[in-house]
Amino acid sequence: MYRIIVTFLLIFNHHFGGGMRLSKYFIPTLREVPAEAEVVSHKAMLRAGMIKKLASGIYDYLPLGLKAIRKAENIIRKNMDLSGAIELLMPSVQPAEMWEESGRWSYYGKELLRIKDRHDRNFCFGPTHEEVTTDIVRSFITSYKQLPINLYQIQTKFRDEVRPRFGLMRGREFIMKDAYSFDVDDAGANVSYGKMRDAYCRIFDDCGLKYTMVEADSGAIGGSYSHEFMVLADTGEDTVISSDKGGYSANLEKAVCGDNWDEWKEEILPAEKKETPNTRTVEELAAFLDVPVMKILKAMIVNVDGSFYCFLVRGDHELNLAKVKNFFGAPSAELASYDDIAVHAEGAPAGFIGPAGLKLEIYADYAVRAMKNVVMGANVKDLHIINANFGRDFDVKTFGDFRNAIEGDTCPVDGGKYILTRGIEVGHIFKLGTKYSESMNAVYLDKEGKRNPMIMGCYGIGVTRVVAAAIEQNHDEKGIIWPVQLAPFQVVIVSLNPNEQAVADLSETIYKELSGLGLDVMYDDRDERAGVKFTDAELVGYPVRVAIGKKSLAEGKVEVTIRKTGETAAVKKEDCISAVMEMLEKLR
RNA sequence: CGGGAUGUAGCGCAGCUUGGUAGCGUACUGGUUUCGGGAACCAGGGGUCGGGGGUUCAAAUCCCCCCAUCCCGACCA
């Protein structure tokens, strides 16, 4: 019996925790930051010896980095399994046929890394796995009785990003958890979606991260919905819009702007032409005329899938092309090129375009309707019209929500004021509908024996990005401050005088006891000076540090320190284990 | 893809203008002392100066081409 328990403990430790001696481990910390790193998490991961760059956007995961990645993966795996999703593993290299079938071989641009095998057949390195999953499901699932099903994997992906940057934050090769659900009908798909939403909340809670779930743009794929999970960090690449009343949050592309403007209380003035040489930007124009930027009517010519329209927004607002695209239900919308402007703007160069006299349909943002006595382009170089007014001087076909929200806007959902924060997109869940099931013929027979396409959802988490985001959110000038749940090692034992027998013995004892409890313990037994060990410990970011040295040991004590707060307690050596456990508990 | 910059020892940098035997800091190896907050001294090892071509008696340095890496932009006229 005893032997069985011991065996179990050994296995348990091997899989779920255990100790490591730093003298026998591999954490190549750097004293100086490689010049290539710009953002906090990138610098910290390089300095802490977690990653090494192999090529642009492609990194080695060194042991410490891999440990953190595995922690995140295990939290994700546990919650995915709990939600009823089933893990499998699909190939990273995929045949072009799959992608031709779904129509994405030509649609997907240069981000898709295409490769050929020795027989000159086309393959790609998978940036995502809708096609492959759909192929599996259509091969084996034919009846409503086998549905719903949700399959997921944790796999290395490759996207040949235009501009990889910020280390693991936007790499080309990265690790992703992706899940795909298949349902018999819309209601079922909504249930599957809800389960994933709940699982994602649990995952990011379990990771110990501060995050928010926001409504996201669902893009051109179906009229369904989508949510993003954002880890909040000042250094985030994305803007999160939320109402200060807490009733709404969304990303910038999606965040709704209301038709809730009061008309400006101004007397209507006669329109007048003004020479405005070299005022290409709104700021230059406003400065030249000495009027506020918001009095300027910004006119832009937009190429919506080959058709051209003019869009008007207030000078201090920005046009949101995603909203334009969705308004027309078009696959693409972009600002017109200079050549196209020359054709469609009556010869006026960019900067002097105005709605009056254009042979294009004019659309305007809601905020424009409230404007009075505006400055607009005269469609002639170096000429603007001041005191122009809607109805008298220009017309608009339709007003709509066509702009980016800004701080202080009134939220049309709950009436609060918009607040902008920065976030890092770590998860995205998506109701796909039948896009892939229809193009790839993933159908099932219902109770009546009729063929129906399955309703799909897809759900992604950037595992490596979660790790980077955790650092971005939790660090100080000394280094990383791991949330306990993601920490590669929860505790470090720093032996300050490894050559003193008493110190070495006690370090050894405490090390064995803590690792015996299933904790991930790093024992810094190196023959290094105290300063080196402390600095490394802070850089690597162990949540709890136990310092054992002859000075405090002379009084029978050791020091236990919390990385996050710097809080240190000198505890009796007998109480060390319980003090560590207590601190770890407090940090969870 | 456009603009800017950089490439010299593992890492951080100088040298380049004005061509003439490749340097500093740190890291690394050996030794002595030290060692509870990145130790001191002594002695060492380590370089296709991103690659190719050109000019020259002579190129890290000047010229041309290429490559790589980073930053900014590629939506606000």
Domains and CATH numbers, chain A: 40-255+420-471 (3.30.930.10), 272-400 (3.90.960.10), 489-587 (3.40.50.800)
Mean pLDDT score of chain A: 91
Which nucleotide is the nearest neighbour of A56, by CA and C1'? B69
Q: Can you list the residues of chain A whose pLDDT is less than 70?
A: 1-17, 218-223
pLDDT tens sequence across A480-536: 999 999 999 999 999 999 999 999 999 999 999 999 999 999 999 999 999 999 999
Q: What is the pLDDT of residue A193?
A: 96
Burial classification of residue A237, based on how many CB atoms lie within 10 Å of its CB (0-12 exposed, 13-18 middle, 19 or more buried):
middle
CA atoms of A156 and A563, how far apart (whole Å): 32
Find the Å distance, CA of residue A55 to C1' of nucleotide B67: 13
Distance CA A126, CA A108 (A): 12
Phi–psi pair at A227, nearest 5 degrees? -130, 145
Q: Which nucleotides of B are covered by protein (CB under 7 A)?
A: 1, 6, 10-13, 25-27, 34-39, 68-77
List of residues 6+ apart from A327 with CB closer than 8 A: A363, A400, A402
Q: How far is the CA of A463 from the C1' of B38 (A)?
A: 33
Contacts of A16 (CB under 8 A, 6+ apart): A518
The CA–C1' separation of A56 and B61, in angstroms, is 29
Q: Nearest nucleotide, C1' to the C-alpha of A319?
A: B76
Neighbours of A266 (CB within 10 A): 12
Nucleotide nearest to A281 (CA to C1'): B77
- In eight-state DSSP terms, residue A455 is E
ipTM of the complex: 0.93
* End-to-end CA separation in angstroms for chain A: 34
Is residue A226 within 8 A of residue A430, CB to CB? The reply is yes
In residues, how long is chain A? Answer: 588
Gap from A266 CA to B72 C1', Å: 41
Closest nucleotide to residue A313 (Cα to C1')?
B76
- The pairing of strands A491-495 and A520-524 is parallel
CA distance A56 to A173: 10
Strands of A272-275's sheet in order across: A272-275, A383-388, A374-380
